[in-house]
Structure 1
Amino acid sequence: MKKIAVITSGGDAPGMNACVRAIVITAWQHDIQVIGFRHGFRGIVDDLNQPLHPDDMRLVSQRGGTFLKSSRYPEFREVESAQRAAAVLDKHQIDALIVIGGDGSFQGAHHLAKYWSGQVIGVPGTIDNDLAGTDTTIGFATAVDTAMEAIDRVRETAEAMARVFLIEVMGRHAGFIGLHAAIASSAESMLLPELEPQPKIAEIADNILRARASFPDSSYVVVVSENLWPGGVAELAKSLSKATGVTCHPCPLGHIQRGGRPNAQDRILAMQLGHAGVLALLDGKSEIMIGKEQEHVVEVPLALTFKRDKPLDPRLVDLQLGLQGVNFTSKKGAETA
């Protein structure tokens, strides 16, 4: 093996730069050149390449975002796009490609492998933590920290004015950020896609009113996963304000959860998985994801990462539901403890 390529694809995640650093340094230690393509799969198709050298990696690990840039590129589902990407990779005599991204990126990598003879490996980089086959993904821990810090700040002003806040967190269609942020911030309630049955407005309103009856001078915080409520957290706040007679304030955290410097956990995870990815290529592996389960690096068939649902940890779900005193405890997609 003489040359590999790397891309960061889909939604950016803190720690992606640290992963690229580990890939570049490990590859050069084995006399392998590295090329980066900017803007993910789009960059391969458009041949937006740049050589990567260990000297360029000195101060990238602590930076958020991705210096290689990223993009969402739904056109890559088309056969022609994959064939064009394969032609570009062959033109540069690339032997293998490492894709850092989430499930959409891994679907793209799996699609490319049908039209390109080189090795393809995925490294999980997404704040959503929704990839099967790995306990955690690059960027998730930092996103939870960011959400927790933001909720703590909202809590301080909410407590000062005894207000109700509905705080919307990211996660696409998964409740990992919501669950962990709710526990860490001692939220009074959480609304996640995995919880069933989903509570009705009347039930949420009743919980708020009972809490205010017991603690009239205190705040009340509900953590809500995005894409859960029709119209988003703003519409939910309107409905609850009407049902309770109490002003409920919507607070979507938005893209602040993607930004910022990666924490130590994400930097270490990113470099561990990036390093392992290069070693897997040297072993001839292809169409796998390099993940981490029970503190061990694992190799998982790429297709399984996006074809299987990843459940929340039922012990953490029960912990939060028990602490907040909510009575609906059936979990859709949660494993048996």
Structure 2
Amino acid sequence: MIKIAVLTSGGDSPGMNAAIRGVVRRSIYNDIDVYGIYHGYHGLINNDIEKLEMGSVGDTIHRGGTILHTSRSEEFRTEKGQEQGAQNLKSLGIDGVVVIGGDGSFKGAEKLSQHGISVMGVPGTIDNDIPCTEMTVGFDTATNTVIEAIDRIRDTATSHERIFVIEVMGRDCGNIALWAGLAGGAESILIPEFEYDMDEVLDRLKQGYNRGKKHSIIVVAEGVSTGSELSEQIKEKSGLDTKVTVLGHVQRGGTPTAYDRMLGSRLGAKAVDLLLEGESNKMVGLNNNKITSVDLTEVFLEKEKVDYDLYELGKSLSI
């Protein structure tokens, strides 16, 4: 293998730059030319590809987002777009591509492999919803961002003796809500994987008030309900003063934690190692604190599940 390229696709996540840096510097360490594909698959089709040097990733490990930028490309879903992307790589003599992103990004990688390009996936998403890895790049930072917000909001909830509904990201996966809600001591955590009972939510609030607690935090994933809708239901059925905070895209940005910097660096470097060993169409991941790899087909077949034990733990500790 003479040349390797790296791209980021889909939603950005803190730690992606650490992963990019891992790919670039591991490649250069092994005397391999490395290229950056800007703006994801859209940039691949438009040949927005540049050779990267050691300094290209200097002073980036601490930065959130992605220096390669990202986008979603409908054109790359077509056979014509995939052929164009593969041809652009071949014309530059690029033999392998490291794709940093989520499930949709990996499906694009698999299409590239069908056109003769060696590919390796690095799981980068704040939702931690990729099977075959215990952690994805960005999840730890996003969760800590939400925990910090919960801690701050609890101060004002306590001062004004109010209920606060905090809406977090998680359209299909409730891991951010679950982990942050549990670590932040939320009284109720609502996630899309499990149906919630509004009467149970209200009973928890009443139990708290009966023992003298006059503030509560409810964390809801966006895939369950909007914070505003949930707040209105609580007001209507309980008459309690309820406020809403929607964290939105603040969860995606910010300086990555040490954990995400380490994870991104380890996964990026391992992806290069596997490509140099002749491997392809795989994803690197973290299992039992070891960097592992698995076929992309296995990633697509499995469905990541929220840890039910954590969910039950949250319910039992928030009484």
Q: Same fold (TM over 0.5)?
A: yes
1:256 Cα deviation after fit: 0.6
Give yes or no for contact 1:109–1:120 (8 Å, CA) kept in 2: yes
Q: Does 1:259 align with 2:258?
A: no
Give yes or no for contact 1:288–1:300 (8 Å, CA) kept in 2: yes
Q: Does 1:291 align with 2:290?
A: no
Q: Distance in 2 between matches of 1:298 and 1:167?
A: 35
- Please give the residue correspondences for 1:73-152 in structure 2 after superposition, counting only pairs within 5 Å: 73-114=73-114, 116-152=115-151
Change (3 A) 1:75 1:307: farther
Q: Distance in 1 between matches of 2:283 and 2:155?
A: 41
Structure 1 residue matching 2:21: 3-state secondary structure: helix
Give yes or no for contact 2:171–2:192 (8 Å, CA) kept in 1: no
Q: Deviations over 1:224-247 (max 9, x none)?
A: 111212xx1211111111111113
Q: Does 1:315 align with 2:314?
A: no
Structure 1 residue matching 2:292: 3-state secondary structure: strand
- Please give the residue correspondences for 1:238-249 in structure 2 after superposition, counting only pairs within 5 Å: 238-249=232-243
1:208 Cα deviation after fit: 1.9
TM (normalized to structure 2)?
Answer: 0.97
The code of the aligned residue for 1:208 comes to L
Give yes or no for contact 1:20–1:274 (8 Å, CA) kept in 2: yes
Q: Does 1:210 align with 2:204?
A: no
- Please give the residue correspondences for 1:50-89 in structure 2 after superposition, counting only pairs within 5 Å: 50-89=50-89
Specify the alignment match of 1:154 in structure 2. 153
- Please give the residue correspondences for 1:168-247 in structure 2 after superposition, counting only pairs within 5 Å: 168-195=167-194, 198-216=195-213, 218-229=214-225, 232-247=226-241
Q: Distance in 2 between matches of 1:75 and 1:304?
A: 26
Unaligned 5+ residue runs, structure 2? none
Give 4+ residue runs of structure 1 displaced > 3 Å after superposition.
none
Q: Which moved more, 1:283-292 or 1:169-178?
A: 169-178
Q: Distance in 2 between matches of 1:78 and 1:211?
A: 55
TM (normalized to structure 1)?
Answer: 0.92
Unaligned 5+ residue runs, structure 1? 326-337
Q: Which among 296, 303, 312 is matched to residue 302 of structure 1?
A: 296
Structure 1 residue matching 2:24: 3-state secondary structure: helix
**Aligned residue pairs: how many?**
319
Q: Deviations over 1:261-307 (max 9, x none)?
A: 10100000100011100000011110100001001111111122233
1:206 Cα deviation after fit: 2.9
Q: Distance in 2 between matches of 1:140 and 1:306?
A: 20
Percentage identity across aligned positions?
41
The code of the aligned residue for 1:201 comes to M
Provide the alpha-carbon RMSD of the alignment: 1.3
Give yes or no for contact 1:291–1:299 (8 Å, CA) kept in 2: yes
1:312 Cα deviation after fit: 2.1
Q: Deviations over 1:158-182 (max 9, x none)?
A: 1100110111111231111111101
